[in-house]
Amino acid sequence: MFYLDIILAGIGTLLALVICVYNIIRKHRTPLNLVVSATALAFAGLCLFIVMRLVNGSVIPEGITGKAIIALQLLVATMIAFFAIIYPNLRVRQLAVAAAAGLAGFALAAVVMVADFASRGAANIAAAHPAVITVISLYLLAAAVIISARALMIENRAIRDDLVYLCTSMAFLFSLYLALSIYLPAVSGESRFATIGLIVPFSSMLVIISNAAVSIRDVDMKKFFSTAAYWIILSTILIAPSIAVVKYNTPAYFAEPVPSLGIALFLFAYLFLVFKYLSPRLENLFRREYRNLISLIDGLFSRQLSTAAKEKNIWGDFFNSLSEGIAETFGITGSYFYLYNRREKKFRLTHSYGNAISDSDIDVSSPVAALVSSYPGVLYRPIVYTSSEFIENRDAARDYFERNRIEVILPFLSPEQQVIGILSLGPLMGNRSYSKSMLSALDIYRLQFQQQLANAIMLEQVRATQVLEHDQMVVNTVKKKIIPATMSEAPGYRISSFYINNSPYGGDYFDSLRASDKSVLLFMSDSSYSGVESALLSLELYTVLHTPSKVMDAPDKILSTMNWVIATSRFTRKHASAYCALLASTGELTYSCASFNPMAIYNPRTDAFTVCETPGVPVGADKTSKYESKTTRLVPGSIGVIFSDGLVSAINQKGEAYSFDRAKEIIRAGRSKIPADIVRALYDDFKQFIQDKKQINDISLILFRYQ
């Protein structure tokens, strides 16, 4: 047990320091993170003193070491109780209560350090000072009771489930600690498991409260414990047999032990089989709920309408099947779809499922419309009631929720960020609550439904203005709609571009948009030249790119989302090569490629070009494909260029292709110029090269310079 205690104490120290630093440097730090950081720091000191006691170091006297172990246990218990009092939403009154409640623990910890008694550590806390065991027990019990009481009182059932998981885990770990580290040594004198019973429960609790100390709306404790169970079981399956084979392969158990080579081959084969076959199945077992939800949504959008339905009213039947399908698929008692009517300036109820609803229309100036316009995401009734960000429209919107027995609202936005549709969902059958996994799945459903709805409305608008006389007019209309006249920029960057529309049958689409106050996103794609279908493909890419979503915060995630949307689309069976890059004001460049021309970066210090490329199939080619992103650091004066195939495939009257080496020389010569001047020089050189030769491919180029 000696070496195991040393190893566990070392791991506990390292883990506590990592948690401490992480909660201090995290971007959206809250008071909860500071409490977790302080708790982790106290536990790191506790583990260090345990190591000193175990190795019998002479640097610190035994008595001081023992008292420090007792005092730090008391501090950790006090800080955990402090966390429980202010969790999940900090209020001034809660902070005052937590501070007052913690005074006794802090004071007793100070008394322990200055008191004159001997102690050998955790195994003799009760003998060293009876008040210590009582206070530690009370603090740990209070933490579990407070979380439990809060779970009973909170209205948000999804958050309530998280609090139940947190309370249950706290109660179990605290019981384990008290039994092994305090009561068992005090009652029976059995102290072999005292160190394990101290380090393992407190380490586990630190990990749990660190995970919980994020936005209560974002944390999913059920998913956290499911993932933890998966890794615990997998680690046990991997490690336990391996240790047993090594430990028992001795003459004491075998007349002739297995040679080392045989042991190595056996362990290799065993670990390979576990990772190859058992690990994926075990992961699917623990993630089956979320996977099943996504699979159900995928199947919902894959349904095909009958020929008769297509001939009569494809959009009406299609959206009716989606609004009814989500209710039938997830066991929702009611589903009500409102579509925005521009003429009446109202959201009209066009499709409904389940019991009749009181509100057949929603005025654009109503609090419900204001609510969905201010928050383009899944609106869960308990969150709307309890979150401070909805306080302005909460009371008026409450009437709509209560009057119509609505639990969830899904707003659908146009590429211009205007609400074009609203889907209201009633309670789940069997009085079940909407779990965090289901709300996440509904957000993916919202994204796909929004893309379909935006495309349908845009096409209907095009038909209404009689632009769809033939394919070329559709393509040109879509191109004018989605290709920006000017490029968005971020601090530290100057960006310019040029575009030559050579093909009336589709082709290039490029764009830029601000990802945050200090970053800008660049995107370029090349679809096949197939008329309306190519235009629809570019339109779908545009819709996804301009749809605000928490799941799309990096180039690889954007391409993955586009890939899933295009692969499951009802409008086109085509795919497109694409490139996505995120430029941060710090000079950090993150990029991801989907079988597109790689970005070229010119470094003025080395006078050399670097290619920025990652592997990836075209978006829409394979729904299961994943994309990789890479990050590099730009030096001041760096110039980056993204271009489509039309630039390098252009030929002149002599049949010669325009080489990118020509573009490199122009960029190199213009290293001190602004991007607009470099782009003008590239455009003039290109036009001079091709002269009057007609080109069949679109030509797109984005050039930026890091200041």
Question: Is a pLDDT exceeding 80 seen at residue 380?
Answer: yes
Task: List the CATH number of the domain containing 664.
Answer: 3.60.40.10
Looking at 218, 244, 265, the residue that finishes a domain is 218
pLDDT at 310: 42
Count: domains in the chain: 4
Crossing angle for the helix pair 157-177 and 130-153, to the nearest 10 degrees: 160
pLDDT at 674: 94
Can you give the pLDDT at residue 471?
A: 61
Both 424 and 526 in one domain: the answer is no
Asked if residue 243 is part of any domain, the answer here is yes
Give the rounded percent of residues in the chain with a pLDDT score beyond 70: 86
Say if residue 538's pLDDT is above 50: yes
The CATH number of residue 143's host domain is 1.20.1070.10
Give burial (CB, 10 Å; 0-12/13-18/19+) of 595.
middle
Q: How far is CA 304 from CA 301, 318, 448, 646, in A?
A: 8, 9, 16, 37
State residue 133 phi and psi, 5-degree precision. Answer: -60, -35
CA distance linking residue 234 with residue 278, whole number of Å: 9
Task: Answer yes or no: is pLDDT of 73 > 90.
Answer: no
- Verify that 118 and 254 share a domain, yes or no: no
Q: How far apart are CA 593 and CA 11, in angstroms?
A: 39
Mean pLDDT of 392-401: 74
SS3 state of residue 508: strand
pLDDT confidence tier of residue 502, bands split at 50, 70 and 90: confident
312 vs 90 pLDDT, higher one:
90
Contact 15, 207 (CB under 8 A): yes
**What does the pLDDT read at residue 101?**
81
In 10 A of CB 240, how many CB atoms?
Answer: 10
Domain span at 628: 471-706
**Residue 146, in any domain of the structure:** yes
Do 157 and 145 touch, CB atoms closer than 8 A? no
Report whether pLDDT(644) > 70: yes
Band (pLDDT 50/70/90 cuts) for residue 534 is: confident
Which one-letter DSSP state was computed for residue 581? E
Please tell me the predicted confidence (pLDDT) of residue 305.
Answer: 45
Q: Establish how many alpha carbons lie within 13 A of residue 699's alpha carbon, considering only the half-sphere containing its beta carbon.
A: 19
The pLDDT tens digits for 439-463 are 888 888 888 888 878 877 776 666 5
Question: In sequence order, what are the residues at sequence separation of 6 or more whose Cβ sits closer than 8 angstroms to the Cβ of residue 321?
Answer: 303, 305
Q: What is the pLDDT of residue 95?
A: 77
pTM comes to 0.54
What average pLDDT does the structure give for the chain?
82
Which pLDDT score, from 0 to 100, does residue 126 have?
Answer: 45
In this structure, are 590 and 664 located in the same domain? yes
Whole-number pLDDT of residue 118: 46
Residue 35 lies in a domain: yes
| Alpha-carbon span 651 to 671, nearest angstrom | 27
Most confident of 133-142, 411-420, 653-662: 653-662
- What CATH number has the domain bearing residue 384? 3.30.450.40
What pLDDT score was predicted for residue 262? 83
Cα 486-492-498 angle, rounded to 5 deg: 30
Last residue of a domain, one of 218, 247, 273: 218
- Return phi, psi of residue 628, to 5°: -110, 140
The token pair at 129 is 């000072």
For residues 358 and 291, the model is more confident at 358
- Is residue 228 one of the residues assigned to a domain? no
Q: How confident is the model at residue 316 (pLDDT cuts 50, 70, 90)?
A: low
Residue 493 is predicted with a pLDDT of 95
**What is the spatial distance between Cα 389 and Cα 374, in angstroms, rounded to a whole number?**
10
Beta strands in 414-507 (DSSP E): 419-425, 493-500
Looking at the structure, do residues 549 and 636 belong to the same domain, yes or no?
yes
pLDDT band at 304 (very low <50, low <70, confident <90, very high): very low
Same domain as 171, residue 253: no
Of the listed ranges 43-57, 213-227, 614-628, the one predicted with least confidence: 213-227
Q: How confident is the model at residue 687 (pLDDT cuts 50, 70, 90)?
A: very high
Nearest to 513 by CA among 552, 461, 569: 552
pLDDT at position 44 over 60: yes
- Please check whether residues 209 and 353 belong to one and the same domain: no
593 Rama sector, left if φ>0, alpha if ψ -120 to 50, beta otherwise:
beta
Phi-psi region of 417 (alpha: psi -120 to 50; beta: other; left: phi over 0): left
Residues 621 and 546 occupy one common structural domain: yes
Same domain, 502 and 454: no
**Is pLDDT of 129 > 80?**
no
At a CB cut-off of 8 Å and minimum separation 6, what does 347 contact?
A: 338, 339, 340, 341, 361, 362, 363, 364, 369, 419, 421, 422
The verdict on whether omega for the bond into residue 415 sits within 30 degrees of 0, i.e. cis, is no
Kindly report, residue by residue over 147-202, the tens digit of the pLDDT.
888 888 776 666 777 888 888 888 898 888 888 887 777 776 667 778 888 888 99
E strand or H helix that includes residue 349? strand 346-353
295 domain residue, yes or no: no
Are 382 and 157 a contacting pair, CB within 8 Å? yes
In the block, residue with structure tokens 């955790």: 122
Nearest Cα residue to 110 out of 127, 97, 129, 91: 129
229 lies in some domain: no
Q: Are residues 578 and 494 in the same domain?
A: yes
Residue 452 sits in the same domain as residue 525: no
Tell whether 441 and 476 lie within a shared domain: no
- Choose one of 446, 464, 482: the last residue of a domain: 464
Residue 265 lies inside a defined structural domain of this protein: yes
CB 644 within 8 A of CB 699: yes
Reported as a single tens digit per residue, the pLDDT across 239-249 is 888 778 877 77
Q: Give the count of alpha carbons within 13 A of 189, CB side only.
A: 0
Residue 227 tokens, joined: 């993932």
Least confident of 76-90, 294-308, 483-497, 550-564: 294-308
Which segment of 136-140, 342-346, 457-461, 690-694 scores lowest on mean pLDDT? Answer: 457-461
pLDDT at 403 exceeding the cut of 90: no
Q: Alpha helices of 287-351 — where are they, by DSSP H?
A: 288-302, 307-330
Residue 571 confidence (pLDDT) above 80: no
Are 447 and 494 in the same domain?
no
511 occurs within a structural domain: yes
Lowest mean pLDDT among 44-53, 79-88, 128-137, 343-352: 128-137
**Rg of the chain over all Cα atoms, to the nearest angstrom:** 31
For 220-284, strand residue ranges (E) read: none
- Other beta carbons less than 10 A from residue 136's beta carbon: 25
